[in-house]
A and B are shown apart, each in its own frame.
Chain A
């Protein structure tokens, strides 16, 4: 069971308080109607599913209810960084 530092509450809290909300950095296309079925399908369904660092969204469900981004190693389950929606993950060295 992870411990995640909520960037809004600024506390290390237990995973039970949070919910996973899918891969991060998948922006909704600006103009969906201009996309082909295949392009729209890419947005709907294609995810990276990496072995290693993964950028994902979490929400502090039983806390402040805010969504934020997490860089998590899917192999070691180490939380490498926590950062706000709209930001990019810090360089790996900084994260440690």
Chain B
């Protein structure tokens, strides 16, 4: 069929002067400005737009909006390609490239043996055993889904905007526009969002008059008024995608998708985050298809879609129309078709005695109306060529069928309100027998529904209800009296008779034998599948959904769900109300990752924290380790060095000479107040009351269940002032922990906490020569061992800057941790490096820090512990004082029966059996590697390194009952089949008498 036949010579909202070239599946085609990809494809006679998901059947365009299940396309190429778009919602632009999805070779092949795929096929076949699934998975992963993800980073920018408005109106059809007019008239701040390129909704394809004028004239005047209102913001091309708690909604605005594959300037999409006082849902309704045999043939469409293509896009998707309806509204499509001079074969109406105004109009136009009949089966190969109709009484066949020739079947089974957003809030839709539809449930004080979404059938009714909803919403938000201020325009519309209920058209053969009667087009779910699921014992609609995949597609069953629920209800012998419907979830239509992420990408998403000495580390070639948000030097490789060689060099410098490490990231909390000591006593395992001023003490912080969650050294700076150090990653957690106990349990204690982590820069000088180096830049503190012993803090000046110097050590060596105000961190670091130059001072990173502490058996909370270890498990009873007057958090739990078991995993040292191989961290330990599985678990390796100082590997691990197993052997089986041997040794490998750090 050639283009001129499909495209009408006049009418529609397209611009015939602006031709647009585009490519679909490699074919060069032409459309006009104002077309969607779908209308342009129909105008070009493209009937088959893809293959179905499960059976590989040819599929054509069914709908004209968000509901489209078949025409799922991929638009653009390369990095800016977007998969999973509905052709009905893609605006045409010049040069657009699109491909159909869901037509893989696999799917075509599946189509050949489609008979073998009943409901639950996937479970029954692929999950028949775990082994079967492993084999199938690779093939299925390749074939599943719609389209391919782009293979390169998106070149476009996306952003996000927050709104606070009085009234958010969702949908700019007749009801939404009326609501916005009234709410804005009362002075409320109104946000009006609509997913289409043009505002107007159904009015864009309306042929009736409003207020005596064409619908387009009323629409233009209304939009002009809203546009001129300072308190109204209009968002076209904006899908309200999610409705969350407390009237929080998200809107995805497509800002440049209609102009080209890549945004020329500005952002491609924007996510609006809206907090609305009131929400008016005017989301309209989607026509319900009719379920009959072969109803998926290309050329079978929704009646409203046929009308929309004719009236809005000036496209006639066929020559001879057969209309199948259960309601008066559908007759309008036959009248539209008749008006453009095409053949209406007949109107097949399932009702007993159709008699409304549209029915009369159709008869007046000479159209044959065949009442009490149904289309039982569509006929054709890759396009419908006819249909079998048969007489119907009380939804049962009562006579022989006959065949009518046609190339287009328009269906109208009634209307399904677009209630997805309301359902997203968790409120279940309710079945209305009179409307023959699910309607939104009670959405509460903050939400109003207006128009077709509320089941209102007439245009006049939608206009009036919208206006009232707008006035009511404004009033609830504090604007006006709630009365409407203007009369709705007169609409010339006849009365309509009630909609008939027909959810599954009977076929001469029974459902399981009849040609497929499709309920969900996108996932190929048929009436027989639903019947089978019910017969196999599934009753809950949620279970049937998961068993048959009904409504599981990217369209969330916008077309099929209600028919599916009704068919299930019929099979189960229940009411539709009793069966209910499944819940809808955000997003209403698929949203891009770009819109969701917005500017939260790269460094904006994962912000880096840098210490004041960061640039120095960069300049000196540091490799980095991420610790929480911090960037910490990992090691500093010199030219040609491997990581191990660099770490060995750094370790030896710290043990034999002098080395320096940036410890600024350690959490620091300033604690002041008369009860500071009492408070510390309650949160740490150790005691702080009797700690002398200027002295430091190590402590473990426990959860109430007795497990270790942080450790660190706290110094007493003054009578009622302490400085607490936390681990780098836990600074915020510990700070919140202290606040929590103070505010909720012990508000009587006079104590205050201030996080000072970022206020200070810390450089730790480590090694036997550290005292000599520090003495060169610090002259006002006596650094001798007698005057400034281990675990003491002194204040003075370092390199001319006021400093706190701590004699604490995480390496087991003589060490001075120099703290200076952060702004001086870099200059003091430089001064220390200069002072140490003559002693070959070596900067070191976190890896060397870890090796040094492991040689000493010092634990790292979170590496050697995993949230289940008590102090006793870690051999740290020495750090627990059980006789404090108040006790401490977690104290009681240390006596729990389970915590005093002797076979709990306990910290031990592990010496490599061959003296050469480094055990893998995380390696599992067993007592007997020869034993057939299941092998009892003896423990695991928590830390493991090569020690340059000791010239052999060292490791720490947790071994069941390990404290009493010194000298015994355990085995570490590896994935490659090797089994490493290790002996259990003391966890302190170096300087067990702790002499070096005390000199």
Report A's interface with B, CB cutoff 8 A: 1-3, 14-15, 19, 21, 27-28, 32-33, 35, 37, 40-41, 43-44, 57, 59, 61, 65-67, 76-77, 85-86
* A33 touching B740, Cβ below 8 Å: no
For the complex, what is the distance from the CA of A57 to the CA of B892, rounded to whole Å?
Answer: 24
- The CA of A2 and the CA of B244, in the complex, are separated in Å by 8
Please classify how large the interface on chain B is, using the bins under 10, 10 to 19, 20 to 34, 35 or more.
20 to 34
Contact, CB under 8 Å: B740 / A2: no
**Minimum-distance CB pairs A-B, first 5:** A32-B892, A1-B248, A67-B743, A3-B246, A77-B245
Among B246, B744, B887, B891, the residue within 8 A (CB) of A67 is: B744
Instruction: Evaluate contact between B275 and A21: CB separation under 8 angstroms.
Output: no
Contact across chains for A33 and B892 when beta carbons are under 8 A apart: yes
Partner of B896, one of A19, A40, A65, A77: A40
> Is residue B704 contacting chain A, with contact meaning CB distance below 8 A?
yes
Q: Which residues of A contact B896 (CB under 8 A)?
A: 37, 40-41
Assuming A1-B246, A14-B275, A33-B887, is B744 touching A57 (CB within 8 A)? yes
| Chain A residues with CB below 8 A from B892, complex form | 32-33, 35, 40
Contact across chains for A59 and B275 when beta carbons are under 8 A apart: no
B705 at the interface (CB under 8 A from A): yes
Asked if B744 and A2 make an inter-chain contact with CB atoms under 8 angstroms apart, the answer reads: no
B747 close to chain A: CB less than 8 A: yes
Chain A residues within an 8 Å CB radius of B897: 37
**A61→B893 CA distance, assembly (Å):** 29
In the complex, the answer to whether A32 meets B891 with C-beta atoms within 8 Å is yes
Q: Are A67 and B739 in contact (CB under 8 A)?
A: yes
B275: chain A residues within 8 A (beta carbon): 3, 14
Closest Cβ neighbor of B745 among chain A residues: A28
Contact A32 B887 (CB under 8 A): yes
Given A32-B887, A44-B705, A66:B743 Cβ within 8 A:
yes
> Chain A residue with minimal CB distance to B705?
A44
**Can you list 6 A-B pairs, Cβ within 8 angstroms, ordered by A?**
A1-B248, A37-B895, A40-B892, A43-B704, A44-B704, A67-B739
**Is A65 touching B744 in the complex (CB atoms < 8 A)?**
no
For A86, give the chain B residue with the smallest CB separation. B747
B interface residues (Cβ-Cβ under 8 A, vs A): 244-246, 248, 275, 426, 444, 704-705, 736, 739-740, 743-745, 747, 887, 891-893, 895-897
Most buried by A among B244, B426, B740, B744: B744
Distance of A37 Cα from B896 Cα, bound (Å)? 6
Tell me whether chain A's interface is mostly helix, strand or loop, or mixed.
mixed
Other A-B contacts than A1-B248, A33-B891, A86-B747, 10 sampled, CB-CB below 8 A, are: A1-B246, A14-B248, A15-B245, A19-B736, A32-B891, A44-B705, A59-B739, A59-B740, A65-B739, A85-B743
- Chain A: which residue is nearest B891 at the CB level? A32
Give chain A nearest CB distance to B528 CB in angstroms: 38
CB distance from B279 to the nearest CB of A (A): 14
Query: Does A44 contact B245, Cβ atoms closer than 8 Å?
Result: no
Known: A3-B275, A14-B275, A35-B892. A85 touches B747 (CB 8 A): yes
CB distance from A33 to the nearest CB of B (A): 6
Q: Which residues of B contact A86 (CB under 8 A)?
A: 747
Report yes or no: B244 in contact with A1, Cβ–Cβ below 8 A.
yes
- Chain B nearest CB, measured from A40 CB (Å): 5
- B744 touching A85 by the CB < 8 A rule? yes
CB of A59 within 8 A of CB of B245, answer no
Cβ contacts under 8 Å, A76 to chain B: 426, 444
Q: Which residues in A have their C-beta under 8 angstroms from that of B740?
A: 21, 59, 67
Supposing A14-B275, A40-B892, A44-B704 touch, asked if A61 and B245 sit within 8 A by C-beta, the answer is no
Q: In the complex, what's the smallest C-beta–C-beta distance from B739 to chain A, in angstroms? A: 6
Q: CB-CB < 8 A to B246: which residues of A?
A: 1-3, 77
Chain B residue contacts of A57, Cβ below 8 A? 744
A59-B732 Cα distance, complex, nearest whole Å: 13
What's the least CB distance linking A48 to chain B, in Å? 17
How far is it, in angstroms, between the C-alpha of A35 and the C-alpha of B893 when the chains are bound?
11
A28 to chain B, nearest CB (A): 5
A1–B739 touching, CB < 8 Å = no
Chain B residues lying within 8 Å of A67, measured Cβ to Cβ, are: 739-740, 743-744
Closest CB in chain B relative to A27 CB, distance in Å:
8
CB distance from B444 to the nearest CB of A (A): 8
Partner among A3, A21, A44, A85 whose Cβ is within 8 Å of the Cβ of B893: A44
For A77, list chain B residues within 8 Å (CB): 245-246, 426
Please, how many angstroms separate the alpha-carbon atoms of A50 and B940 in the complex?
Answer: 39
For the complex formed, measure the closest distance between the CB of A60 and the CB atoms of chain B, giving whole angstroms.
11
* Chain A residues whose C-beta falls within 8 Å of the C-beta of B895 in the assembled complex: 37
Query: In the complex, A69→B444 CA distance in Å?
Result: 25
User: Shortest CB–CB separation between residue B447 and chain A, in angstroms?
Assistant: 13
Q: How far is the CB of B711 from chain A (nearest CB, A)?
A: 22
Complex-state Cα separation, A43 to B896, whole angstroms? 13
Q: How far is the CB of A53 from chain B (nearest CB, A)?
A: 16
Task: Decide: B739 and A40 in contact? CB cutoff 8 A.
Answer: no
Minimum Cβ distance to chain B for residue A29 (Å): 8
Chain A residue at minimal CB-CB distance from B245: A77
A39's nearest neighbour on chain B, judged by CB, is B892
In the bound assembly, the distance between CA atoms of A19 and B737 in angstroms comes to 13
> Shortest CB–CB separation between residue B72 and chain A, in angstroms?
31
On whether the beta carbons of B736 and A61 are closer than 8 Å, the reply is yes
- Alpha-carbon gap, A94 to B1, bound state (A): 72
Whole-angstrom CA separation of A85 from B893 in the bound complex: 26
Q: List A contacts of B744 (CB < 8 A).
A: 57, 67, 85
Measured between alpha carbons, how far is A14 from B164 in the docked complex, in Å? 11
A45 CB, min distance to chain B CBs, angstroms: 8
- Which B residues lie within 8 Å of A59 (CB)? 736, 739-740
For the complex formed, measure the closest distance between the CB of A83 and the CB atoms of chain B, giving whole angstroms. 13
Docked pose: A18 CA to B739 CA in angstroms: 14
In the complex, chain B residues whose CB is within 8 Å of the CB of A15: 245
Residue of A nearest to B755 (CB): A65
The CA-CA distance from A4 to B682 in the complex, in Å, is 32
Write the nearest CB–CB distance from A73 to chain B, whole angstroms: 11
Other-chain contact of A1, B245, B426, B705, B736 (Cβ < 8 Å):
B245
Interface-centre pick from B704, B887, B892, B897 (highest chain A CB count, 10 A):
B892
Task: Evaluate whether A40 and B743 lie within 8 angstroms (CB atoms) in the complex, with A1-B244, A61-B736 already known.
Answer: no
Shortest Cβ distance from A24 into B: residue? B744
The distance from the CB of A90 to the nearest CB of chain B, in whole angstroms, is 19
CA distance A40 to B745 in the complex (A): 17
Contacts of B426 in A (CB 8 A): 76-77
Q: Which B residues lie within 8 Å of A32 (CB)?
A: 887, 891-892
Nearest residue (CB) in B for A77 is B245
Shortest distance between the CB of A63 and any CB in chain B (Å):
13
Q: In the assembled complex, how far is the CB of residue A15 from the closest CB belonging to chain B, in whole angstroms? A: 8
B444 nearest CB neighbor, chain A only: A76
Expressed in whole angstroms, the Cα–Cα distance for A21 and B747 within the complex equals 17
Which residues on B sit within 8 Å (CB–CB) of A43?
704
Q: How far is the CA of A65 from the CA of B897 in the complex (A)?
A: 37
CB distance from B530 to the nearest CB of A (A): 31
* A3→B244 CA distance, assembly (Å): 11
Looking at B248, B740, B743, B893, which has the most chain A CB atoms within 10 Å of its CB?
B743
CB distance from B835 to the nearest CB of A (A): 41
Give complex CA distance A17, B892 in Å.
34
B274 to chain A, nearest CB (A): 11
Please indicate the chain A residues that have their CB under 8 angstroms from the CB of B248 in the complex. 1, 3, 14
State how many angstroms separate the Cβ of A12 from the closest Cβ of chain B: 9
B896 nearest CB neighbor, chain A only: A37
- Chain B residue contacts of A2, Cβ below 8 A: 245-246
Closest Cβ neighbor of B897 among chain A residues: A37
A13 to B623: give the CA distance in the assembly, Å.
42
Least Cβ–Cβ distance between B404 and chain A, in angstroms: 53
In the complex, what residues of A have CB within 8 A of residue B705's CB? 44
Question: Which residues of B lie under 8 Å from residue A37 when comparing CB positions?
Answer: 895-897
